[in-house]
Amino acid sequence: MTVPPPIAMLAELTHRCPLSCPYCSNPVELARAETELATEDWVRVFREAADLGVLQLHLSGGEPASRRDLTDLVRAAREAGLYTNLISSGIGLTEARLAELDAAGLDHIQLSLQGTDAGMADEIGGYRGGFVRKMQVAGWIKAIGFPLTLNTVLHRRNLHQLPRALEMAEEMGARRVEVATVQFHGWALRNRDALMPTREQAKEATRIVAEARVRLKGRLVVDYVPADYHSDYPKRCMGGWGSTGLNVAPDGTVLPCHAAQTIPHLTFENVRHRPLADIWYRSSAFDAYRGTGWMAEPCRSCDRREKDFGGCRCQAMALAGDAGAADPVCVKSPHHAALQARAAAHAAATAPLIHRTAPGRPVPAEPVVG
């Protein structure tokens, strides 16, 4: 098959973060600061990405503002010709730092929202005072005039705040709001009993988003990631494995998606040792689930196979024990009924939040899954 170049690259600059969200998509084993790529490594990787055909660079983490060289990295990415999007909780961004980022050419900011009031946001983020600080940062972003996307992660505890989150996006002057129901990977997988929305909540969120899309048309774009455990078909993960995007982890490991290291039989290359283009076009991990040739039934003969590419490989691994299986979210998967029953059980359970830990700190034990 002919492999097109990637459009977007997610650069996870660091796993360090002042917050400790219980749904963090970072791996449970976090990269320590001393293993992170150095400034000059990232600059080289940005040039390699641009040469490969990448257009958009998403600077993420952890919290990318935890990197002291963030402004230098933005400047280097712009010099390489990349469109730069900073994905941040806001903590660590000062007014002066935002002005520097603006001068360095930063194109866009995506600000995360853990809740619409201090009580919720600070409890979920595990950081007292975080909400007040974030509101201050949102004000500076608006004053400078950065194009803004507000990213709100919703789950059982805060789904009732969705209408207010939409209002806040408008008040902040955002052009886009991403309403993302929590995806159960990484730390979220350990928090299903605490965070799984009910089916009724998921349906209500879909209704609110549909109504908001009509009401806000022309003012605010509403992107929506529904609660997939309550869905009948999986989402097209990463636009299809190895088709449009790639992730570079803090230590330089190149991944087809942020959770790919949960698939134990795959071997991942590192930009310290191999050029990015070589990894994209000629590495076993990127080839493993590209296109449709790897599929087994029911995906192989399904008329949706080029629409969703069988869903998420990491979710198939986590829930069906086979990364080559149909995503268990799919009604055609033999695991679908069990998944729906499990979703209902998680939604009815009560459990304390397990916040993510800092890199190098002991990882809490995995709860027993019912």
Stretch that binds ligand SF4, among 64-72, 166-174, 258-266, 326-334 (CB under 6 A): 326-334
Gap between the Cα atoms of 347 and 108, Å rounded? 36
The first and second tokens of residue 277, run together, are 């283009």
Residue 62 binding ligand SF4, by CB under 6 A:
yes
Stretch that binds ligand SF4, among 100-108, 167-175, 281-289, 304-312 (CB under 6 A): 304-312
For the bound state, the minimum distance from the C-beta of residue 277 to ligand SF4, rounded and expressed in Å, comes to 28
In the list 6, 64, 90, 234, the residue contacting ligand SF4 (rule: CB under 6 A) is: 234
- The residues, ordered by sequence, that sit 6+ positions from 55 with a Cβ below 8 Å of its Cβ are 7, 8, 82, 83
Q: What string marks each residue from 256 to 295 as x (binds ligand SF4 by CB under 6 A) or -?
A: ----------------------------------------
Gap between the Cα atoms of 98 and 94, Å rounded? 6
Strand ranges, E, within 61-116: 83-88, 108-113
In the list 14, 20, 161, 262, the residue contacting ligand SF4 (rule: CB under 6 A) is: 20
For the bound state, the minimum distance from the C-beta of residue 348 to ligand SF4, rounded and expressed in Å, comes to 25
For the bound state, the minimum distance from the C-beta of residue 20 to ligand SF4, rounded and expressed in Å, comes to 5
In the list 9, 12, 26, 269, the residue contacting ligand SF4 (rule: CB under 6 A) is: 26
Stretch that binds ligand SF4, among 21-29, 172-180, 199-207, 273-281 (CB under 6 A): 21-29
Chain residues 85-104 in contact with ligand SF4, contact rule CB under 6 A:
89
In the list 7, 28, 120, 302, the residue contacting ligand SF4 (rule: CB under 6 A) is: 302
Q: How far is CA 93 from CA 113, 118, 142, in A?
A: 15, 18, 13
- The residues, ordered by sequence, that sit 6+ positions from 357 with a Cβ below 8 Å of its Cβ are 20, 30, 363, 364
**Amino acid present at 339:** L
Residue 194 binding ligand SF4, by CB under 6 A:
no
Residue 130 binding ligand SF4, by CB under 6 A:
no
Q: How many residues does the chain have?
A: 370
Residue 356 binding ligand SF4, by CB under 6 A:
yes
Residue 156 binding ligand SF4, by CB under 6 A:
no
Stretch that binds ligand SF4, among 17-25, 99-107, 221-229, 362-370 (CB under 6 A): 17-25
Q: Answer yes or no: are the C-beta atoms of 314 and 260 closer than 8 Å.
A: yes
Give whichever of 65 and 347 is closer to ligand SF4, judged by the CB atom: 65
Torsion from C-alpha of 258, 3, 291, 25, nearest 10 degrees: 10
Q: Answer yes or no: are the C-beta atoms of 47 and 78 closer than 8 Å.
A: no
Q: Answer yes or no: are the C-beta atoms of 201 and 159 closer than 8 Å.
A: yes
Q: What string of DSSP letters covers 146-184?
A: --EEEEEEE-TTTGGGHHHHHHHHHHTT-SEEEEEEPP-
Binding site for ligand SF4 (CB under 6 A): 17, 19-21, 24, 26, 61-63, 89, 112, 233-234, 298-299, 302, 304-305, 308, 310-311, 326-327, 330, 332, 356
